[in-house]
Homo-oligomer: A and B are copies of this chain.
Amino acid sequence: MPLVRVSLLEGKPDSFKQKVADSIHNAMVETINVPPLDKFQVFTDHSKSGFIYSPEYLNIRHTDGLIIIQITLNTGRTVEMKKALFKRIVDLLVESVQVRPEDVLINLVEVPRENWSFGNGIAQYAT
């Protein structure tokens, strides 16, 4: 159910994207009860002029290695679960692609369960 959008500065190899995808997905499985098979992600490469970030915000320094992650998911996760998710995503990304921990920006967009169809035109989560 999560739909994950990842934005990167262009030039990252395929193997990098695959590791990023796996890290984000595994973190969601471990911390917020996302089913292991529920993996849907799209990556977009942006040119330098179309990838704009603050070099420093809240005393956090960002570089061209920034990974911008926007996750659309069901409502219902607690603040503690969200905190655990953020931490785990960064830990796994540091491990898999050696990103600077500062260079991971994450945003969650929450929607009700009936707002998904995974195929066949059926709202599989609607009760």
User: Is B49's CB under 8 angstroms from A121's CB?
Assistant: no
Interface of A is mostly: mixed
- Chain A 112-123, CB within 8 Å of chain B: the 1/0 string? 101111111111
Q: Which residues of B contact A38 (CB under 8 A)?
A: 54, 57
Number of residues from A at the complex interface, CB < 8 A: 67
Q: Which residues of B contact A117 (CB under 8 A)?
A: 86, 90, 104-107
If A42-B7, A83-B126, A111-B109 touch, whether A118 touches B57 (CB-CB below 8 Å) is yes
Q: How far is the CA of A104 from the CA of B124 in the complex (A)?
A: 13
User: Is A107's CB under 8 angstroms from B115's CB?
Assistant: yes
Partner of A51, one of B42, B68, B88: B42
Q: Which residues of B contact A111 (CB under 8 A)?
A: 107-110
Q: Which residues of A contact B (CB under 8 A)?
A: 3, 6-7, 14, 17-18, 21, 35, 37-54, 56-58, 60, 62, 68, 70, 72, 79, 82-83, 86-91, 101-112, 114-124, 126
